[in-house]
Chains A and B, each alone.
Chain A
Amino acid sequence: MNILVTVGSTPFPSLMKAADALAAKHPAFTVRCQTAEPDLTLVHAESFAWTESIVDDYQQADLIICHAGAGTVYALLEMNKKIVVVPNLERADHHQLELTDYVAQQGYAVACHSLLELESAVFSAIEQKNTPYNKEPFFLANNLVQYFGL
């Protein structure tokens, strides 16, 4: 089981610690962490701060544990990946709770509101069959071009 942990551009140290603990407890899991922290090294999980080819990592992972950033979550849903969404409450604002709750309510992903429950969330995600992501694509592009007089 290849597990990718990704946090986008904002560090999320407690998630990294929990992911490292997960890797220690389950040697059958290969855990790779995109940390957004160049100086952070993990003991049991592989880590890297940033990559320009994160989509390749998404494709290779069987399961992804991610922060609830819109760019990450929607990209993964569009790829029909199994994901565990963890809101980053170490930020100054707690807006990631909204997207976390939304994807869980829609059945698109498993939400993990407490890192103490990360392990059970991972097993839930492995077993759960997600609702396929469906969106109404942006339809105002022509309208905006005309609005700007182009």
Chain B
Amino acid sequence: MGSKPKVIVTVYGEGGHAEEAERLVRALQASSPTTQFASLSDVKLVPDWSVLHLDILDFRHKMTGKLNFKAPLQAFKAVRQLRQHAQVVGCLSTGPGTAIFPVIILRLCGVKVVHVETSCRFYQRSLTGSAMRFLANRFIVQNKELLKIYPKAEYGGRL
């Protein structure tokens, strides 16, 4: 156990969520240059900051809204594989729903989870935000407007 590298795992989906994960990691790297990051994502492109990139599945299709029932099992496999290779000291999620199952499993494993809600929301809760405000240890919003609908959230500025 002691020989495994310590990592923060970043969980994110496509598009703006991947961009926000990238910006979040860059911000943390600026504060702690030696910290290592792993990634769980449905984006195939491996980020240059990730020491271990594992595939997960989006549980809901963007265009059709159809649910993918393979997503929970794939999340379990990815987290198990991650923990075989690294000591996970924390999790950063930028959504979307892709992140929900990995976060549940990581929380069950005792990992601290911080969710940063997407900056494209201002006035309404996202499905992911509705779940993550209960699942995550800390729930951070990038738009002050969201504090009205997530009173226990923290405002963190915009990535």
Contact = CB atoms under 8 A, between A and B. Distances in A.
Contacts of A102: 122
Contacts of B108: none
A141 B114 contact: no
A95 B156 contact: no
A102 B121 CA distance: 9
Nearest to B25: A141
A73 B18 CA distance: 14
Contacts of A145: 28, 31-32, 35
A39 interface: no
Interface in B24-38: 24, 27-28, 30-32, 35
A117 B54 CA distance: 43
B28 A139 contact: no
Interface string A1-29: 00000001111000000000000000000
A138 B60 contact: no
A70 B118 contact: yes
Most buried by A among B118, B120, B158: B120
A148 B7 CA distance: 10
A40 interface: no
B32 A95 contact: no
B114 to A, nearest CB: 6
Interface string A102-122: 100000000000000000000
B112 A140 contact: no
Interface string A24-54: 0000000000000000000000000000000
Contact of A141 (B14, B16, B28, B62): B28
A137 B140 CA distance: 13
B24 A138 contact: yes
Contact of B90 (A70, A141, A142, A148): A148
A10 B35 contact: no
Given A10-B15, A148-B89, A71 B156 contact: no
Interface string B29-73: 011100100000000000000000000000011111100000000
Interface of B: 6, 8, 14-20, 23-24, 27-28, 30-32, 35, 60-65, 89-90, 92, 112, 114, 118-124, 126-127, 138, 140, 142, 154, 156-159
Q: Which 6 A-B pairs have the closest CB atoms?
A: A92-B65, A70-B16, A71-B16, A71-B19, A148-B90, A70-B120
Given A70-B20, A92-B61, A98-B121, 16 more contacts: A8-B14, A71-B16, A71-B17, A74-B16, A74-B119, A92-B64, A99-B120, A135-B157, A139-B156, A140-B140, A140-B157, A147-B112, A148-B90, A148-B112, A150-B32, A150-B90
